[in-house]
Amino acid sequence: MVTAAGYIPLVDAAPLIIAREIGFAEEEGLALNLQAAPSWAQLRDQLMMGQIEAAHLLFPMPIAAALGLGGFNTRIDILQVLSLNGNSIGVSRELAQRLRAQGFGFDFADARAAGEALKAAQSGPLRVGVPFPFSMHAELLHHWFGALGMTAPDDFEMRTAPPPLMAEALGAGEIDAFCVGAPWGSIAVELGAGELLLPGNAIRTNAPEKVLAVRHDWAEAEPRLTRRLMRAVWQATRWLNSESNLLTAAEILSRPEYLDLPAELIERSLTGDLVISPRGEMRQTPNYMTFHAGAASYPWASQAALVAAKLAARMGLAPEKAIPAARAICRTDLYATNLADLGADLPATRDKREGALSAPTQVDAAQGRVILPADSFFDGWIFDPPSAS
């Protein structure tokens, strides 16, 4: 059985790539045909038009589609989460120099201190690059700036650039800062275009980043293929959870047909040992990118509800319609049916209070208990999902 899956050349495409290269897809009787796309818009279009069956997508992209944003009416389902975190916020060399002149120490950890320093250093609206309008990059920045009292367009404006072109845009002076997925923040440092200011998990401790997405009609018409795909990818996330496998993963991802970048650079993203400036300053960031631990793959309906509520508020949509539409595409039913026998963590509910966990916490599961990681926002904000079935 052959399934075509699209991806953007990022480190967090690893579950799809590892599923193919380590043999998990083959073990499930699946021939996984991986196709790289140059941009998120093109990848979305390929999925919606049936040119591929599955895709490595930004978490908010299927939610935006469910809300009727982006010009398509095709329903896209989220089968499972591929990764948490993995983003970095960087600034131009000029802006970094102004921050350092103010005495900011680039601790790569304190979102409030970094934000206040950024406000003091900026002259005019901050031009910030993001890979796509409907992305966790944009969601994290909107939350961060909003909590600091910054509003668009007076204090900031977001501009879109594909991840591989983000460093070029920064170096050319088209943007002052960016939020981008690994390893493209590190590439900006390697090229001398800028410095890293914060990891995304400084804004929210654990946030869903990429998902395994398919068209709803395909999942309904091809339950056997859907099952094989989900199982292969989930087993790849479990393999990536072992520190002893990360060097091998980096070497596989570095191949010309995938990221075509140095393995050492990719390994830094996998381990969280990041170089934040051209001077070689290093920062160790625990859980910089997570693939598996703590029910990381589970497609929480409450996480989709949070993004839908935020998008509805910004786009002038009715939240009472947006939130149920977003919840419906989180296929926790298929997750339980297809992955239970592999030992996947299965929380007892589809919802949790998003941002409420300040430390690892045990919660009820379908069998026994599961330990969820902290998921708090830097400012203590909590989202209570509306009650739903």
What's the pLDDT score for residue 368? 81
Report the half-sphere exposure of 386 (CA within 13 A, side-chain side): 15
Pair 266, 254: CB distance under 8 Å:
yes
What's the pLDDT score for residue 216? 98
Pair 45, 57: CB distance under 8 Å:
no
CB atoms within 10 A of CB 278: 16
What's the pLDDT score for residue 142? 98
- Show the tokens assigned to 108: 């790569």
Pair 205, 157: CB distance under 8 Å:
no
**In the chain, which stretches have pLDDT less than 70?**
387-389
CB atoms within 10 A of CB 336: 14
Per residue, the 3-state secondary structure of the chain, as one string, reads CEEEEEECCCHHHHHHHHHHHCCHHHHCCCEEEEEECCCHHHHHHHHHCCCCCEEEEECHHHHHHHCCCCCCCCCEEEEEEEEEECEEEEEEHHHHHHHHHCCCCCCCCCHHHHHHHHHHHCCCCEEEEECCCCCHHHHHHHHHHHHCCCCCCCCEEEEECCHHHHHHHHHCCCCCEEEEECCHHHHHHHCCCEEEEEEHHHCECCCEEEEEEEEHHHHHHCHHHHHHHHHHHHHHHHHHCCHHHHHHHHHHHCCCCCCCCCHHHHHHHHHCEEECCCCCCEEECCCCEECCCCCCCCCCHHHHHHHHHHHHHHHCCCHHHHHHHHHHCECHHHHHHHHHHHCCCCECCCCCCECCCCCCEEEEECCCEEEECCCCECCCCCECCCCCC
Q: What is the pLDDT of residues 199-225, one digit of tens each?
A: 999 999 999 999 999 999 999 999 999
CA–CA dist 389, 386 (Å, integer) = 10
Q: What is the CA radius of gyration of the chain?
A: 20
What's the pLDDT score for residue 389? 41
What's the pLDDT score for residue 387? 67
